[in-house]
Amino acid sequence: MLTAKVFSSLHYITEAYRTKLNTISETQFQLTPPIGGWSFSEVYAHIFDASILSLQAMEKCMEGLGKKHSTSFIARIILLLGILPPGVKYKIPQMLESRVRKVTKKEAEELILRFSRQLERDYKKVDHASPEMKTPHPRLGYLNAKQWLRFIEIHLKHHLKQLKRIENSF
């Protein structure tokens, strides 16, 4: 996995979120979509909160605060293919469920900015992290720093598709 390539992709995806945010009115941002599920607001709150938490897990790996542990087979496949298995309805891990909330567009922009700054600061150190030092993901098991970075990319892409479904439902 090329860290620079993943970082470039993350920058592009983050800009797609920012661009999408600018096209949605504050009222529509808060509305529960006709198809049910999360509003745009809740998706933005979840994805950038989860991404910031993922960066923190990645940082622990880089600081040597993880464990030597194997990566699960399913995690390796997901990271290799770069997608979450299609057709599966994913349930948010319980530890993150209580963190999902409605935010304003301004708060969403602040989350994007916080994520972008932390990513910019940390990604340069990823290549120097021990591949054996891993921290647990709530669904995928133990991931090292590079794997966390790749997961963030996959997760952000996954939720862009969700935003499209929400948009199409209005």
pLDDT of res. 36 = 86
pLDDT of res. 170 = 86
d(CA 95, CA 106): 25
Domain 3-169, CATH number (from 2.40.37.10, 3.40.50.2300, 3.20.20.70, 1.20.120.450): 1.20.120.450
d(CA 36, CA 166): 9
Higher pLDDT, 25 or 88: 25
pLDDT of res. 90 = 65
What average pLDDT is seen over the chain?
91
Strands (E), 55-166: 67-68, 133-137, 141-144
Whether 89 shows a pLDDT value over 90: the answer reads no
Residue with tokens 């989350």, as numbered in its chain = 111
pLDDT of res. 87 = 64
For the chain, the structural domain boundaries read 3-169
Higher pLDDT, 87 or 160: 160
pLDDT of res. 84 = 87
d(CA 148, CA 59): 9
For CA atoms 160, 152, 117, 112, give the dihedral sign. Answer: positive
pLDDT > 70 in the chain, percent? 95
Higher pLDDT, 87 or 10: 10
d(CA 137, CA 151): 10
Whether 88 shows a pLDDT value over 70: the answer reads no
d(CA 59, CA 63): 6
Residues 90-134: tens digit of each pLDDT = 677 777 777 889 999 999 999 999 999 999 999 889 999 999 999
d(CA 156, CA 162): 10
Residues 15-51: tens digit of each pLDDT = 999 999 999 999 999 999 988 889 999 999 999 999 9
pLDDT of res. 100 = 82
